[in-house]
Amino acid sequence: MSMNKYRPELGRPASGRRRLKDLLLQSDNRCCADCNAPDPKWASANIGVFICLKCCGVHRSLGTHISKVLSVTLDDWSEDEVEAMIEVGGNASANSIYEAYFPEGYTKPGPDASHEQRAKFIRSKYELQEFLKPSLRIVSGKSSLGSSSAKSFMDSFKSSSTQRLAW
């Protein structure tokens, strides 16, 4: 109370919305995380990226278990959802994970990409997680590539921890 940090008379939801707006104003969030279109007004609250309306449509089609889409201006955000966005840290930070490894010569779609190009890219990026760091692909458990590298990762982890226990 003496810290005067919280001012209950100003109400609660404003602080979450203010923080979300601040995050949106961060320079890397001024463009869509998926196609670089300027001024994104949508976000995937569980992935932690700001996206444009067109990409939002594709995200929605993936289902909320993969991407939970919310409007920055129109939807009500829970404190947890705002918190999750802030924790990811914005588009650049999210893309450093989801776009860690593009195949050689690969170009991600731009703002004028067709719906098909856009949909294919977004599925590859978030659903199949094809561009993720191999060690992070464990969570997907979908692609055979992922499971084989996950296995060798686990094997090396196991042998090193066994060694540590043994010695």
Residue 122 makes contact with Zn ion by CB under 5 A: no
- In whole angstroms, what is the distance from residue 145 CA to residue 141 CA? 9
Residue 37 makes contact with Zn ion by CB under 5 A: yes
Residue 72 makes contact with Zn ion by CB under 5 A: no
Residue type, 136: L
Q: Tell me how crowded residue 32 is: count the other CB atoms within 10 A of its CB.
A: 24
Q: Coil, helix or strand for 74?
A: coil
Q: Which of the ranges 22-30, 36-44, 131-139, 156-164 carries the binding residues for Zn ion, by CB under 5 A?
A: 36-44
Please report how close the Cβ of residue 149 comes to Zn ion at its closest, in angstroms.
Answer: 29
Q: Which of the ranges 11-19, 33-41, 42-50, 152-160 carries the binding residues for Zn ion, by CB under 5 A?
A: 33-41
Residue type, 149: S
Rounded to 10°, the helix 53-62/115-122 angle is 50
Residues that bind Zn ion (CB under 5 A): 32, 34-35, 37, 52, 55
